[in-house]
Chain A
Amino acid sequence: LAKTTQPISMDSYEGQEVNITCSHNNIATNDYITWYQQFPSQGPRFIIQGYKTKVTNEVASLFIPADRKSSTLSLPRVSLSDTAVYYCLVGAHNAGNMLTFGGGTRLMVKP
């Protein structure tokens, strides 16, 4: 499974756009990029998944450059309720079903 590197923590303010970048230099051809969000005392929640270029849903956007060695999760106009840990995961749908959660990025949104 591809190793991922993401910032340990980030601070932002309400109403700002937040971009969290994840590095995955050894991503394989069949790998997808998936982001989960975890609030305190809750289980993680799937946010978005993509393979290349840009994916957008009602919660976030995921930008993946052509070389796919990194990806950026973009959260538009964050609110206090977006304070959470965000995990970047990389792997293939046939990768033995082993999700590997790293330490994630702890996002703190301030008023």
Chain B
Amino acid sequence: DAGITQSPRYKITETGRQVTLMCHQTWSHSYMFWYRQDLGHGLRLIYYSAAADITDKGEVPDGYVVSRSKTENFPLTLESATRSQTSVYFCASSDTSGWDEQFFGPGTRLTVL
């Protein structure tokens, strides 16, 4: 199916564990983004990527690692999960820049116990 998908949709983990959230898009968009949204708040940018093998920090990058070896995939890894990383994570992509229309995935709800 065309579009942008995220997996898993729900994840419960424990403090200190490594967790990887997956994001896949089928449009061959150059730009991809990871956001987190805490309950009742707006989205905050974690990392973004302008192309394969090019990534850059956003507003709240601490505790997260990203990679982009292929244009269509942009995984986000929490190397040692903390309770403060309990959130809903959204992946997005856009064709030419962050200020062009971004297409968002359905989100991953992560709970860190």
Contact = CB atoms under 8 A, between A and B. Distances in A.
Contact of B99 (A34, A41, A42, A104): A34
Interface stretch (B11-19, B67-75, B77-85, B102-110): B102-110
Interface residues on B, range: 20 to 34
Contact of A97 (B43, B98, B101, B106): B98
Contacts, number: 61
Contacts of A32: 99
Interface string A72-111: 0000000000000001000111111111111110000000
B100 to A, nearest CB: 7
A46 to B, nearest CB: 4
B43 A98 contact: no
Contacts of A104: 42
B2 to A, nearest CB: 16
A103 B42 contact: yes
Tell me which of B33, B44, B102, B103 has the highest count of chain A C-beta atoms within 10 A of its own C-beta.
B102
Contact of A46 (B31, B50, B102): B102
18 contacts: A41-B107, A42-B104, A42-B107, A43-B106, A44-B90, A46-B102, A46-B103, A92-B99, A93-B96, A93-B97, A93-B99, A95-B99, A97-B50, A99-B43, A99-B102, A100-B45, A101-B43, A102-B42
Interface of A: 32, 34, 41-46, 49, 87, 91-104
